[in-house]
Each structure stands twice: as C-alpha cells, then as structure tokens.
Structure 1
Amino acid sequence: MNSERLNFRHYTLSDFDDYFKLVSNPDVMKMITGRPLLENETRERLQKMMNINEEHPNIGHFKVSNKFDSNFVGHSKLVIIGKNEAEIGYVLMPEHWRKGYGNEIAKTLINLAKEIDEIQTLIAIIDPENIGSKRILEKQGFLWDYDGDYFGLPAAYYKMEI
C-alpha cells in the first residue's frame, strides 16, 4: 500500500530495530504508554502484530517508510476491534513530526477501511493532550466521542462512521 510520499507494508522480524527505535523513544511514547518499551516488550508486541497481520492480510499493523529514500517514518495500524468496528493508529519518529505525515497516514488508513465491507465505524484513541493528533483526526472527519482511560492512562476517543 502506498500514499503520495509513503510506503506501508506489514512488519517482519527484520523490522525489529526500526520498531524498537520508535517505541523505546521516551518522547514518542510519552503520550502512548507513558513510558518507553523495553526490548523484551517490543519483541512480544512485534510478534503479536505479525500474528494479527497473518489473520487479517488486508489490514493490520504497518511499517511506514518514506517512498523516496526508504527511511523509517513510523508505525500505523488498522485493526478490527469489534463487530463492524476498527481502530486506526499512527506513531511517528520525532524527526518526522509536523511534516504532514500524520494526516497522510490517517487518510490512507481511512481509505483502506472504506474498502473493507465489514468495517462501518472507525475509532482512534489518543492522549487528550496530544493536540497534533486531535487536529489530524478532526481534519480527517473524526468526531470526539468521549474521554476515558486506556490501560490506566487518560484517553480521548474519536469516532467516524464510514
């Protein structure tokens, strides 16, 4: 899968170093888990993501790279979470923040979701203080649904009917 500037592909074990660089970065993970992930946690998470990708080969967890220089940009996901419902998510390396990649990733995932008959609703869960992600979601047509928590952390839930 591609967008204007990005390539999306399912993860393989050879992507561990890039994924670990992302999830072990305290600035990146501050608004996701509240802390960087350890190496063993990252290996477990990568394996779970690859298992999900096997179950759902058209959607899942994607490594996102720059189309022109192949540099690692970040992570994205479109995963089924319930009947007719899927979640989108994206995480970018800090050097790629504020370059429009978040919007490009969200738009690409929304377009992919529209191709999947069983997906009728998309949700996105962000840290309520993450103003950048809030802007991205609202620009793409998501509406705030409610504030709650996500694994013990404050979370803002956004929703889109497709």
Structure 2
Amino acid sequence: MTQDWIRSERLRLRPWHEDDLDVFAALTADPQVVRYVGDGQPLDRAQTAYWLEQANRNRRRWGLGTHAIIERASDRPIGWAGLIHNDNAPAPMAAEIIYALAPDCWGRGYGSELVAALVDWAWQQRGLASLLATVDPDNAGSIRVLQRNGFVFEQIAEEADGAKTAYYWLGRG
C-alpha cells in the first residue's frame, strides 16, 4: 500500500496507481471537470494514461507532483491535486498549486480544505517561501478558494493561444 502524501480531516492525497486509470480517465473526460484545466478540452484514455505517467515521473524528479485525491469516508478517488514544478515560479523556493475535483464534490468545502493542507505541507515539509496558483479568470469558485487561503491576485496575462490566465501568489510569513 502506498503511503499518503498529505492527509486532512476528510481527504488524503497519494501517488497515482495503475488501477486509478479508469477513474482518472472518467474525470479528465468530463467537460465540467476540465473546463478550466489546460485548454479546457477533455482528454482521451491514452492522454490520461500519459498524464498519470508524467505525474509520477515528476513526483520522483522534483519531489512534487500531481496526486490522487481520496475521500477518506468513501475511500474513492475524487480528483487530483498537488504542487508542481513551474518554470515561471522562482526555483527552488516556489511551486505551483493545482487541483480539480469531481462535480459531486463541489460546494462541500473540499477545495478550501485541500488548498490549506497543500499550503501547510509546502511550508512545513518542503520549506517553500511562496506558492503560485494560476486560474482561469472566469473560475470564480477556485478564485474564492485561493482567496480564502490567503492567495493574492497579481495579474492577468494573455497566453500565446490568446487565453487569459490569472496569477495568484501566497508568500510565507
């Protein structure tokens, strides 16, 4: 059994297992879940398998990465979250926080609980000085979660593809 990376009151994060592919593929194929992820397009099973492989590779390389979110009461995977290496974040003292939850888990406070646990881990276990969060400016729910956890708006940038991204930062202290 794989050891949990992070635990909170109702959630735990652990590395991806091969047998998570079906659940993760269902999440990444759901237009509601991926609306604000990447280019907003659902992924097929092969793309999802590649993402899982990359997530575990990044975790081994950087000590950071995307993990499965497990609802402790049901022991079911309900999304993904993690701290990832980001070339735009000043290394080695910063990382980017990412997360997504299944729609049946929205509005239950899981996002705020999750972000608080990730921030605590970043400060206590990793010694990071700051965290970056990038979010679609239309994703009001995630913006509220970030603000509740102390993240401060910095700017909206236009990406090469014309998409807009809002940048939020959280510094320790």
Common fold: TM-score over 0.5: yes
CA distance in 2 between counterparts of 1:42 and 1:151 reads 24
1:108 aligns with 2:117: yes
The count of residues paired between Structure 1 and Structure 2 equals 160
Q: Give SS of 1:160's match.
A: strand
- When normalised by structure 1's length, the TM-score is 0.92
Give the secondary structure class of the aligned counterpart of 2:67: strand
Measured in 2, the distance between the counterparts of 1:68 and 1:28 equals 22
CA 1:151–1:68 in structure 2 vs 1: closer, same or farther (change >3 Å)? Answer: farther
The residue matched to 1:53 in structure 2 has which SS? helix
Q: Post-superposition, which runs of at least 4 consecutive aligned residues in structure 1 deviate over 4 A?
A: none
Q: Following the alignment from structure 1 to structure 2, what is the Cα–Cα distance between the partners of residues 11 and 150?
A: 30
- Measured against aligned partners, the alpha-carbon deviations of 1:27-75 in whole angstroms (never above 9, x if no partner) come to 1111213211122211111111010111244x32110111111122210
Name the structure 2 match of 1:42: 48
Give 3-state SS (helix, strand or coil) of 2:134's partner. strand
Structure 2 gap ranges (5+): 1-5
Residue in 1 that maps onto 2:78: 73
Query: How many Å separate the matches in 1 of 2:68 and 2:160?
Result: 24
1:130 maps to 139
1:73 counterpart SS class: strand
Q: Give the match's secondary structure for 2:8.
A: coil
Q: Quick check: 1:147–1:155 contact (8 Å CA) kept in 2? A: yes
Q: Which residue of 2 aligns with 1:155?
A: 165
Aligned with residue 104 of structure 2, among 91, 95, 99: 95
Identity rate, percent: 28
Secondary structure of the corresponding residue to residue 145 of structure 2: helix
Q: Shift of residue 150 of structure 1? A: 4.9
Which structure 2 residues correspond to residues 5-20 of structure 1 after superposition, within 5 A?
Answer: 5-20=10-25
Secondary structure, aligned partner of 2:85 = strand
2:148 maps to amino acid: K
Are 1:27 and 2:32 an aligned pair? yes
- 1:151/1:47 CA distance change after superposition, 3 Å: farther
In structure 1, the gaps of 5 or more residues are: none
RMSD: 1.4
Q: Separation in 1 of the partners of 2:160 and 2:23? A: 25
Partner of 2:153: helix, strand, or coil? Answer: strand
Q: Which amino acid aligns with 2:167?
A: Y
